[in-house]
């Protein structure tokens, strides 16, 4: 095996967490190598949904505050990335509407308006009677509306962020499988590379890659299926209803997604479950009925054992860090995760919620 050079940071995985860590480390003038077994954004981060929605504004705690600050800063972050890369990420704060189907939820939604004024500041949580996109039958008690939620186009965002990283002198090696690692070195058939710090951000497959460091199964993959349709709703809010998202994109397309399948055999194939999802979405939003299907997508999202992201220094190591488990909230917090991991590497204070830490996942 041969070693070419040593880096400050090597990142295994070029999904949204890996790219975000690379971007932040490069901004701090650290030398960075990103290695991926496939292509940049080829896993769950290369999807088509891209809903960036906040937690409810009540019962406030550090996890909600962390996500809130991330969603607040996302607009500037993606503008900066796009300015550097000259590639659109598809980001936009378009808001969200959620049909209310039970009186109990209606009363709860009304009570949360005060919580939003206290915890969300300038952003609004309200209850409205109807919206042109949503069937009256689907929203018998009206709809929750917020102007805080945003959208992004995941695969385009990864492309934009990777280009920004490259312009910040981050090196990339695609189609390069890492077979082993230790404190400061990664290994593969191609040779080895060394770094002061290693970040593992390799999606759901990474849970198996790091299993020898943990006494329990630390995470698994959950399959999702989604559909891209040809209907231009770009100025409309996204819709969330009973597990279904309908997300208008800035390029004039719209995504319906996604399933959540804990048991699966074919990770990248779509099936009847997607067709059922589309039909349910059409019942909620008749406007999208008969829209042309552009693309079907399926992929495996990384879910840590406690559902929260898995961030921090790996047990029995001084220089190996994890940035994994974005699951359904990854794009909304990824840039803040990049900052937090870079802070950990540089031994600076960080504000990671306790529930994101490795210690919490091992409790």
pLDDT tens figures, 189-210: 999 999 999 999 999 999 999 9
**What's the confidence (pLDDT) of residue 186?**
95
Sign of the torsion formed by the C-alpha atoms of 67, 73, 77 and 78: positive
Q: Is the pLDDT of residue 20 over 60?
A: yes
**What's the confidence (pLDDT) of residue 223?**
97
Structure confidence at residue 257 as a pLDDT band (50, 70, 90)? very high
Q: Is the pLDDT of residue 4 over 80?
A: no
- Of 70-79, 246-255, 307-316, the range with the lowest mean pLDDT is 307-316
Note the pLDDT tens digit of each residue in 323-339: 999 999 999 999 999 99
Exposure string for 72-104, b = 16+ CB within 10 A, e = fewer: bebeebbeebbebbebbbbbbbbbbbbbbeeee
Note the pLDDT tens digit of each residue in 33-72: 999 999 999 999 999 999 999 999 999 999 999 999 999 9
Note the pLDDT tens digit of each residue in 212-242: 999 999 999 999 999 999 999 998 999 999 8
Task: Give the N- to C-terminal CA distance of the chain in Å, as an integer.
Answer: 39
91 neighbors 150 (Cβ within 8 angstroms): yes
Residue indicated by tokens 């609004």 = 124
Residue 298 phi, psi (nearest 5): -140, 145
Residue indicated by tokens 């100025």 = 235
**What's the confidence (pLDDT) of residue 318?**
87
**What's the confidence (pLDDT) of residue 5?**
79
Q: Is the pLDDT of residue 363 over 90?
A: no
Q: Is the pLDDT of residue 3 over 90?
A: no
Q: What whole-number distance in Å separates Cα of residue 215 and Cα of residue 198?
A: 21
**What's the confidence (pLDDT) of residue 13?**
97
Question: pTM (2 decimals)?
Answer: 0.96
Q: What whole-number distance in Å separates Cα of residue 244 and Cα of residue 196?
A: 43
Q: Is the pLDDT of residue 119 over 90?
A: yes
Cis omega (within 30 of 0) for bond into 258? yes
Note the pLDDT tens digit of each residue in 22-35: 999 999 999 999 99
Please name every residue paired with 349 in a beta bridge, in sequence order, or none if there are none.
none
Note the pLDDT tens digit of each residue in 100-113: 999 999 999 999 99
Q: What whole-number distance in Å separates Cα of residue 97 and Cα of residue 127?
A: 9
Q: What structural domains and CATH numbers belong to the chain?
A: 3-48+156-217+306-361 (3.50.50.60)
Length of the chain in residues, anyone?
A: 363
- C-alpha gyration radius of the chain: 21
Q: Measured in whole angstroms, how far is the alpha carbon of residue 66 from the centre of its chain?
A: 14
Q: Is the pLDDT of residue 309 over 90?
A: yes
**How is residue 38 annotated by DSSP?**
S
């Amino acid at each position: 095996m041969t070693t070419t050079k040593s880096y400050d940071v090597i990142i295994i995985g070029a999904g949204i967490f890996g790219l975000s860590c690379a971007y932040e480390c490069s901004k701090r003038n650290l030398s960075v190598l990103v290695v991926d077994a496939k292509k940049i954004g080829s896993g769950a981060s290369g999807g088509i949904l891209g809903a960036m929605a906040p937690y409810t504004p009540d019962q406030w705690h550090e996890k909600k505050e962390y996500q809130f600050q991330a969603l607040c800063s996302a607009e500037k972050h993606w503008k900066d990335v796009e300015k550097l890369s000259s590639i659109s990420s598809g980001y936009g704060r378009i808001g969200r509407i959620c049909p209310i189907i039970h009186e109990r939820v209606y009363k709860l939604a009304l009570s949360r308006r005060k919580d939003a004024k206290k915890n969300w500041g300038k952003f609004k949580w309200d209850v409205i009677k109807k919206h042109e996109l949503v069937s009256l039958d689907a929203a018998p008690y009206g709809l929750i509306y917020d102007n805080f939620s945003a959208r992004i186009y995941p695969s385009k965002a990864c492309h934009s962020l990777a280009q920004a990283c490259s312009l910040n002198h981050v090196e990339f090696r695609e189609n390069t499988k890492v077979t082993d690692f230790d404190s400061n070195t990664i290994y593969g058939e191609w040779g080895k590379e060394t770094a002061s710090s290693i970040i593992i951000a390799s999606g759901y497959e990474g849970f198996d890659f790091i299993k020898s460091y943990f006494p329990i199964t630390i995470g698994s993959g959950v399959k999702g299926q989604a559909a891209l349709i040809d209907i231009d709703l770009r100025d409309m809010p996204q819709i969330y209803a009973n597990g279904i998202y309908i997300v208008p994109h800035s390029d004039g397309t719209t995504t319906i997604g996604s399933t959540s399948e804990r048991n699966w055999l074919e990770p990248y194939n779509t099936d009847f479950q997607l067709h059922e999802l589309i039909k349910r979405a059409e019942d909620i939003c008749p406007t999208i009925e008969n829209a042309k299907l552009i693309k079907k997508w399926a992929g495996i999202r990384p879910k840590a054992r406690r559902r929260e992201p898995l961030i921090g220094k790996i047990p029995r190591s001084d220089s190996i860090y994890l940035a994994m488990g974005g699951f359904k909230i990854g794009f909304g917090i990824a840039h803040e995760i990049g900052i937090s991991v870079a802070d950990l590497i540089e031994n600076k204070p960080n504000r990671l919620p306790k529930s994101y830490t490795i210690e919490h996942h091992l409790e």
